[in-house]
Structure 1
Amino acid sequence: MRKAITTATTLLTTAVLLTGCGSGGDGSTSSKSKAPSASSASGAPDPSASGAAGSAAGETHQVTLEVKGSGKGQVLWTAGDNGMDQVDLPWKKQTTVTLKGAELKLGAPLSVVPQAVQDANARFVFPACTITVDGKQVAHNEDEENAKGCTYLLKSTNRP
């Protein structure tokens, strides 16, 4: 039990440090202070979104991050921006992620990592999580022993 909690804490700390250490050139590793990118309702690329200098318009995707369970817990998430929030479970975050610049070629990371919570038997377990992109489930984890949560590399559907 203690090993699982230590592992979860280590993974969360590592993830926070890694998501905060980016080139900063495209703003994808900024803190919660940045609002989600503008997009069209259809999920199609928004012609008004500008990428890096000289690159084509961005490509937008509707992203949903979910964590099941009950009670309170911390959730570390990355989807365009990133954050670590104390939440009531179940939890859901819906946002729009716009791929632009280098992300059009390399992709953009999406993740949701829930902290372990106590179940009805007073065991610490990791809540199930899901990542959905444009209505399609792309990552899911129900393993109560797995501290990794859910991760997915969002790639362009119109690779140049």
Structure 2
Amino acid sequence: MVVLAVAACGGTDETAAASPSAATPASSQSPARSSAPQTKAYEVTLEVNGKGKIYQPIAYFADTNGSESDVTLPWKKTVAIDLTAAEQEAGYLISVIPGAVRDSKGMLEPAKCRILVDGKEVATNDGGENTCKHTLKSASRP
């Protein structure tokens, strides 16, 4: 009996290996997948608008994290971002915290900011928010 079970297992393995349906999933997936990662390039522009000197540093995350202080407005930074296939699917957060400027009453308020992707505006802080942010995905591209 043990011999028959081993023979049956051996026969099953040989049948599965020889079966075209067993080989089909692996062979049908191989041509569809590319060994080279597929990326998409985007031009991202971060802007902080207004006049005069900023009273807090501008902080941003785009291609890198960074901040800039002692800035006179308007301020702009344009970068190229290449997203991998996974980043295109999951999304890649870009943001700018514009710092503060003085309003007409002398009070500090967030400066106006916006984010453009390939020349198209995708985020602003016109509602008085302290930041501009956008999740860059393959669907974000115009």
Give TM-score scaled by structure 1 length.
0.59
Question: Partner residue of 2:18?
Answer: none
Q: Equivalent residue for 1:80?
A: 63
Structure 1 residue runs of 5 or longer lacking an equivalent are 1-53
Match of 2:43 in 1: 62
Aligned mates of 2:47, 2:121 — CA distance in 1: 11
Secondary structure at the counterpart of residue 143 of structure 1: coil
Unaligned runs of 5+ in 2: 1-34
- Structure number, greater radius of gyration: 2
What is the rounded CA distance, in whole Å, between the counterparts of 2:72 and 2:82 in structure 1? 28
Distance in 2 between residues matched to 1:58 and 1:155, nearest whole Å: 11
Q: Distance in 1 between matches of 2:127 and 2:102?
A: 15
Residue 91 of structure 2 is aligned to residue 107 of structure 1: yes
Question: Contact 2:88–2:136 at 8 Å: present in 1 too?
Answer: no
User: How far is the alpha carbon of 1:102 from its aligned partner?
Assistant: 2.4
Deviation at 1:126, TM superposition (A): 0.6
Which of 100, 123, 126 is the equivalent residue of 1:142? 126
TM-score by length of 2: 0.65
Two-structure CA RMSD over aligned residues (Å): 2.1
**Does residue 1:116 correspond to 2:116, yes or no?**
no
Greater per-residue helix proportion: 2
Deviation at 1:150, TM superposition (A): 0.6
